[in-house]
Chain A
Amino acid sequence: MKKIELLAPAGDLERLKLAIRYGADAVYIGGKKFSLRSRASNFGIEQIKEAVQFANEYEAHIHVTINMLPHEEDFEGLEEYLKQLEEAGVTAVIVASFAIMKFAKRVAPKLEVHVSTQHSSTNSSVVSFWKSMGMDRVVLARECSLKDIVETTKHSKVPIEAFIHGGMCISYSGRCTLSNNMTTRDANRGGCAQSCRWKYRLYEDGNPLHKEDQLFSMSSKDLCAIEYIPALIDAQVASLKIEGRMKSQYYIATVIGTYRKCIDAYYETKKISPELMATYKQELTKAENRRTAIGFYDGMPKSSAHLYGVNGSGVSQEFIAYVLDYNKETKVATLEVRNNFTANIQCEAFGPHKQNQKFMMNTLYTQDNEVLEVAKTPMQVIYTTLDVEVSKHDMIRKVMINKENVY
């Protein structure tokens, strides 16, 4: 049985390399054209080639999103682009437009075509349709419950991809024009203003039904389905997808690393104890930038799966430094600063191949060997001695004592 694929997002090459180092089997990225997530630092063709080369070293794959719903003028340059992707060694394109799917099959036949979640596929009949059209994989809608995913996969003859983590549209994906209507920004061509996450007053025949201090919102908590990983593996889902091409390096490392460990543990032992699952969940809370819930996995989301009164805030952990180097003999670590921190704070180091290690931060030094009271300049290179052993590409986070309370 082929091992399930862990599919990570990346907004740039640095995040892509990090995702692969932390255990992604494949990474999906957006090109400069034809892709949603207009702010996700989309990749040029040279960067895509570099991405493929890097992925090849790790036996990983690159998928490229072509998931906008194009208007009449948006097709220019498509043929050349698809051929470039094929030549670069990209494994698959993730496509929303049926016309582009068929076009890709014709002009770049080595590319797999994956049907985007923008189609909101929720049953095996629609999967059969895409199979009959020659498509290679179908990404299911985030509206599917675990039972829906299991049953659909069982009756499908092409590989199925399911979302397991990250942001959720409140609408069936690809079918929403709230942003188009409220801001003239096209939700389905990379301009979504996330109007669903705004606050609204609710009226019945002109009479208010809302509470002024608790306005209506359609903001969903992010998805976190780690507890369903064993069931998804057993169901022979082909790929587990994490949302978030705009997320930070820290987020990518924490989330990918945790799911990697969970998947590997299940393949090795065929079970995940409740205690072990609790540690994975705890680890993921350190990466969240929105509160999480299980989406539709257990059926219809209740009010507890929504964010009311906040606009997606609620960061619960802070990534403070990236490890550039560590000398085992002198215990000197070379760090790159990411967020404010000082000496004498409780920290935690984590990396792709190790258990988390807690420690107290020792005195910080600049490159000129001067004592640094506060590390506050992003990307500054500093030194300190660490009592725990770390490695290049590990990350260090503050241990937060009091989490911000959001509802």
Chain B
Amino acid sequence: MENIIVSIYQIEDIIKVKKAGATSIILGSDFFSVRSTSYFTGCELKKAIQIGKDNDLQVYVLVNRFFIEEEITQLKFHLQMLKEVKVDGIYYTDMGVYQEAKNINIEGVLIYNPETILTNSYDLQVYLDLGIKMATISKEIPLEDMQKIGCKINGELEVIIHGRLNMMHSKRKLLSNYMQFIEEDKDLFNQTNLYLKEENREEHMPIIEDEQGTHIFTGFSMCSFEEIDLLVNANIHNFKIECIFMNINEICQTIEDYRLILENPVRGREYYQAYQLNYPTQMITKGFLYKKTGLLK
């Protein structure tokens, strides 16, 4: 069975996504996670992990921020806790997390998702050869390259198939700084209803400022109904839905639809067109699946 990976907002969502057909859930936690739908405290996280496991779900945890020197001790404690509760996966972006996980022999549950960087089969293979569980193919890679990569790689690959994609993470508090610059006393912390429009363009690009800085997302939602079976044929079996701008009902509907398409791929086009019609504000597109970015200006 193909692995469909989704995030949840609260513990009650676990059962819902399980019923919809998810096989893995992603949990976020205070301090250690960014761009998460959930930020559980330590106790809540342990509880959510247990409930996920009780429901036969793979439980993955986000430890996907960059850490500075003075935070390494907290990172070590957190990884030790995750080892004790036996999480199935830990997403990370900072290779310091790999080093600390290796020190306590849990590198085998790590999932490397640096957002960019994993743009070719050679790099994916050398990271997978470190003994990690899985690596996420960069989202700006076209389908053709993903297929080539999938056929070459020895190890588990993940592809982001659906949702708003993160375009950049700045450590700076860009919204707070701007509000200060224009002398507006307005707190925009952690709001998910903000967006940018470049002065000559129409795209609405969501922007979020949180404890770890500022994150900007694509003006479109990625959708891969027509391509998922091609990825399966290329030996890729782990598919993530980026849930951050979807509510739990949308998440469940999307899981169900991908499950249906996996059983009946010929309906992919029909579903893609239906999503374009039904979610007009999401700006449903195929992302970089058929768009090759240029080397030069």
Contacts and interface: CB of A to CB of B under 8 A. Distances in A.
Interface string A191-221: 1010110111111110001110011101010
B54 interface: no
Interface stretch (A120-128, A236-244, A269-277, A360-368): A120-128
Contacts of A199: 198-199
A152 B70 CA distance: 9
Contacts of B292: 184
Interface in A147-194: 147-148, 151-152, 155, 170-172, 174-178, 180-182, 184-186, 188-191, 193
A72 B149 contact: yes
A198 B216 CA distance: 14
Contacts of B196: 200-203, 216
Contacts of B296: 38, 185, 190-191
Contact of B177 (A178, A204, A306): A306
B180 A308 contact: no
A327 B295 CA distance: 49
Band of interface residues on A: 35 or more
Given A69-B116, A69-B119, A172-B169, A98 B126 contact: yes
Interface stretch (A294-302, A350-358, A381-389): A294-302
Given A99-B125, A182-B198, A218 B170 contact: yes
Interface in B87-133: 93-100, 114-117, 119-123, 125-127
B169 A204 contact: no
B71 interface: yes
Contact of A188 (B94, B119, B174): B119
Given A70-B119, A125-B99, A189-B295, A151 B70 contact: yes
Contacts of A130: 95
Nearest to B142: A71
Contact of B119 (A71, A123, A191, A203): A71
B148 interface: yes
B140 A123 contact: no
Contacts of B75: 125
Contacts of A176: 116, 167-169
B121 A72 contact: yes
Given A102-B126, A209-B186, A303-B181, A191 B297 contact: yes
Contacts of A98: 123, 126-127
A39 interface: yes
A67 B66 CA distance: 20
B99 A175 contact: no
Given A75-B120, A172-B171, A186-B295, A198 B198 contact: yes
A74 interface: yes
B178 A303 contact: yes
A193 to B, nearest CB: 7
B164 to A, nearest CB: 11
Contacts of A204: 188, 191, 193-194
Contacts, number: 236
B284 to A, nearest CB: 15
Interface in B274-294: 288, 291-294
Nearest to B291: A184
Given A124-B72, A126-B94, A186-B293, A301 B169 contact: no
A129 B112 CA distance: 14
A8 interface: no
B195 interface: yes
A175 B75 CA distance: 22
Contact of A72 (B97, B148, B168, B216): B148
Contact of A178 (B179, B216, B291): B216
Contacts of A203: 194-197, 204
B47 interface: no
Contacts of A120: 66, 94
B218 interface: yes
Nearest to B177: A303
B122 A71 contact: no
B210 interface: no
Contacts of B176: 303
A300 B120 contact: no
Contacts of A195: 198
Contacts of A121: 95-96
A175 B168 contact: yes
Contacts of B170: 170-172, 218
A309 to B, nearest CB: 9
B13 interface: no
Interface string B143-155: 0010011000000
Contact of B67 (A125, A172, A200): A125
Nearest to A153: B69
Contacts of A141: 66
Contact of B182 (A97, A118, A214): A214
19 contacts: A38-B295, A102-B126, A120-B66, A122-B68, A122-B96, A125-B72, A125-B75, A129-B98, A130-B95, A148-B69, A155-B69, A172-B66, A184-B292, A184-B294, A185-B294, A186-B294, A189-B293, A209-B194, A300-B171
Query: Nearest 7 pairs between A and B by C-beta?
Result: A125-B96, A99-B122, A126-B96, A303-B177, A186-B293, A151-B69, A171-B168
Interface of B: 66-72, 75, 93-100, 114-117, 119-123, 125-127, 138-141, 145, 148-149, 165, 167-182, 184, 186, 188, 191, 193-199, 201, 203-204, 207, 216, 218-219, 288, 291-297
Given A72-B120, A184-B291, 18 more contacts: A72-B145, A99-B122, A125-B67, A126-B96, A129-B99, A130-B95, A152-B69, A170-B170, A174-B117, A177-B139, A178-B216, A182-B198, A200-B196, A200-B199, A201-B199, A202-B196, A210-B178, A216-B196
